[in-house]
Amino acid sequence: MDIIEISGVSKAFLAGEKNVLALSDISLTITEGEFVSIIGASGCGKSTLLRIIGGLEKKDAGEVLFEGRHIQGPSRERGFIFQDIRLLPWLTVEGNIKFSLPKGLENAEKLIAEKLEIVSLKGFEKAYPKQLSGGMAQRVAIARALVNQPKVLLLDEPFGALDAITKLKLQEEMLRIWEREKITMILVTHDIDEAVYLGNRVVVMANHPGRIQKIYTNEMGYPRSRISPEFNIHKGIIYKEFFGDQEIPFAYAI
Ligand SMILES: Nc1ncnc2c1ncn2[C@@H]1O[C@H](COP(=O)(O)OP(=O)(O)OP(=O)(O)O)[C@@H](O)[C@H]1O
Ligand SMILES: [Mg+2]
C-alpha cells in the first residue's frame, strides 16, 4: 500500500531579495514499510521536503497525501527526528519522552520503558540530557519519536553530528527498529554510505532548483555487508550520480 504520495510539489522561499526555488516539481510515492534514503547537496531542499511531509511546512503547489489524505499539519503518526537533538535540559530522559505524549495517557510509563529498552537506554530514565553522550541523546530522541507509535519516521540527518563508530551503531539500531516495528522510514542524509546501507531506495536530489535527479532501487537484501563487493557496486552507482566518471574533486563538498 502507498503510504505517502507526493506529486508535483513546489516550494519557494524569499531569501533577502532573491526568490529561491527550494523544491521544484517533486513527485515520489512511498510504499508502506519502505526505508527510503534521500541524499543531495546542501541546500537542495531535503529538509524542506521532509518538513512538508511532516506537516511542519506548507507547500506552494502540488499534493502530499498520507494514507490517501491531504496532510494538514503535524501528526503523531509521522514522527520527526532532527539533526540537532532538541532535548529539554530541565527534564530527565523519561520526562523528555513523556513530554511528547498526550497528557494523562494511562500506560505512559510502560510505553516509555519499552521504547528505552529498544534504544538500549534502560537504567537511564532519571538521567538529565547534560549527563548523556551525543549518541545517547540521539537515542533518547529516537525513543521520543517511537513512543507515539508512528507509522512513518522522518529522519533529518539524525547521525550527522555523531562520531563514525556511534553512527554505525545507531544505523544498526535503526535497521533493527525498522524490522521490528515495521515503521516506514524516510531518512535524509549527506552520507552516501549511510544512504546505500540503509535504504531500499535512494532518492538523489539536485540543486538550483531543488529537484529529484534519480530514484535508485537498491536490490540488496538485509542484513547487508558494508565490505562486500556488491555493496560497493551500489555505492559506486550513487557516487557516479554526483560526480560522473571523474575522481571526486577535493573542493566538492556534499
Ligand atoms: N525558512 C526558510 N526561509 C528562507 N529560505 C529557506 C527556508 N528554509 C529553507 N530555505 C532555503 O531553501 C533551500 C533548501 O533548504 P533546505 O534546508 O531544505 O536544504 P537541505 O537540502 O536540507 O540542506 P542541508 O543539507 O544543508 O541541510 C535553501 O536555499 C535555503 O536557503
Ligand atoms: Mg537540511
- Supply the pLDDT for residue 228: 95
CA of 111 to the centre of ligand 2 (A): 30
Is 129 touching ligand 1 by the criterion CB < 6 Å? no
Is 27 touching ligand 1 by the criterion CB < 6 Å? no
Looking at ligand 1, which atom is closest to the CA of residue 210? 14
Is 46 touching ligand 1 by the criterion CB < 6 Å? yes
Distance CA 180, CA 142 (A): 14
pTM for the structure as a whole: 0.94
Give 107-147 pLDDT, tens digit per residue.
Answer: 999 999 999 999 999 999 999 999 999 999 999 999 999 99
- Supply the pLDDT for residue 243: 82
Mutate to test the pocket of ligand 1, among 10, 38, 44 (most ligand atoms within 8 A of CB): 44
Nearest Cα neighbor of 23 from 6, 1, 5 is 6
pLDDT tens by residue, the chain, 254 residues: 999 999 999 999 998 998 999 999 999 999 999 999 999 999 999 999 999 999 999 999 999 999 999 999 999 999 999 888 889 999 999 999 999 999 988 899 999 999 999 999 999 999 999 999 999 999 999 999 999 999 999 999 999 888 899 899 999 999 999 999 999 999 999 999 999 999 999 999 999 999 999 999 999 999 999 999 999 999 999 999 988 776 655 555 55
Helix (H, G, I), strand (E, B) or coil at 226: coil
Cα angle 49, 51, 54 (rounded to 5 degrees) comes to 115
- Supply the pLDDT for residue 247: 63
Q: Largest alpha-carbon pair distance within the chain?
A: 58
In this structure, is the dihedral angle defined by the CA atoms of residues 91, 93, 95 and 100, taken in order, positive or negative? positive
CA gyration radius, the chain? 18
Looking at ligand 1, which atom is closest to the CA of residue 23? 14
- Supply the pLDDT for residue 251: 52
Cα angle 44, 46, 52 (rounded to 5 degrees) comes to 125
Distance CA 184, CA 75 (A): 15
First to last CA, the chain: 33
Tabulate helix, strand, coil % of the chain (nearest 5): 35, 30, 40
